[in-house]
Amino acid sequence: MFCVMDKERCGCLMCKRFLINQSPVILLIFILLGINSCHILNGKESSGEPVHINRFDKDLFQWIESDTPELLKKVVSDYPGMLRYTGLSIFGMNDTSHTVFFDRIINYYSEPTLNKLYRDALKVYDQIETVEVSLGSGLHFLKTCFPSMQIPAVYMHVSGLQNNTLVADGLLSISIDKYLGVDYPLYRDHFPEYRRRKMTPENMVPDYLKAWLISEYPFKGNVRVLLDRMIYEGKIKYIIHNALPQVLPEVLLGFTSGEYQWCKRYEKMIWNAIIERKQLFEPDAATTERYFAERPSDFLSDDAPGDLGSWVGLQIVTKYMERTKESIETLMMNNDYQEILSKSRYKP
């Protein structure tokens, strides 16, 4: 399986998030307490060896800059999967044996704005020991919770602010040019502040884990139903928060601390609005999507942040796990979203 999560462009480089199927083989996926098989971490990272991250990004750029047959041969030999999936996600082609493929790569990454973005990304992520330690800890947690889960080979790439995460059979890669900091000049030119919050180094490891977790446990439910989406997104956030307890929940949600406190203060108002408008069970795609959009939820309140659906889902799942004491693996296997809501006794 192959997925691209959170693909964004603006002008020639970025646009809105989207999900499409490119072929029967290639699938592009939508992108507190650990009980029984996992441990409650109480704000500490779980144990586990640092994961080795393969630097496809560095080696590809070295070849692009030199354009020598020797370095091309090395890239082709060392990264056949990454070349194929990068070609598919950016150019829609996977024939890495043709010279046209490599000509397109050089032309694409030689564009001045993208070339500078690539160079800046490599400078920021020249040394990645802290990323490898944190990711190793998070993957170890997932492996503890899901013993049968395969731990992927991990890579870094540069997409030109296109595909954020590549997931294929046994392969997981993240686009490092999406994590250069909220004040990176190119981001300021193309992204609103509420989106730039998620484009920081501290969001990289959570996004790695989210991509792999979603690929292993894809959404099963009615995508048009608010409750189904809420619970699923809540599960993902709940597990990542346990895997990386050092990452603040507001960071995982893309909130400021003030927005997070606003949600806690007006939790009852948010829930009552959903119930009174009869939106929880109604299969209405447009209404449901508004609760997961990144832009502020001004349809509810001028002060409400975006992605309120994920926030409410996290509260429900947290209550459910506190009451049932189930394992995280059992939680992910349960796709009866109404049962989870009922057993959570969620009523702020």
Q: 62-121: per-residue pLDDT in tens?
A: 999 998 999 999 999 999 999 999 999 998 887 888 889 999 999 999 999 999 999 999
What is this structure's pTM? 0.87
pLDDT tens-place string over residues 9-22: 333 333 333 232 33
The confidence score (pLDDT) of residue 9 equals 33
In which band, very low, low, confident or very high, does the pLDDT at 47 lie, cut at 50, 70 and 90? low
Two tokens, residue 213: 């977790």
The confidence score (pLDDT) of residue 94 equals 77
Residue 196 has pLDDT above 50, yes or no: yes
Contact status, residue 317 vs residue 231, Cβ threshold 8 Å = yes
Buried b (16+ CB within 10 A) or exposed e, 292-323: bebebbeebeeebbbbbbbbbbbbbbbbbbee
pLDDT tens-place string over residues 262-320: 999 999 999 999 999 999 999 999 999 999 999 999 999 989 999 999 999 999 999 99
Residue 43 has pLDDT above 50, yes or no: no
In which band, very low, low, confident or very high, does the pLDDT at 174 lie, cut at 50, 70 and 90? very high
In which band, very low, low, confident or very high, does the pLDDT at 241 lie, cut at 50, 70 and 90? very high
Share of the chain above pLDDT 90, in %: 80
Q: What Å distances lie between residue 52 and 46, 121, 173, 270, 306, CA to CA?
A: 17, 19, 12, 43, 34
Angstrom distance (rounded) from CA 67 to CA 78:
17
* Contacts of 179 by beta carbon, 8 Å cutoff, 6+ apart: 124, 125, 199, 200, 201, 203, 204
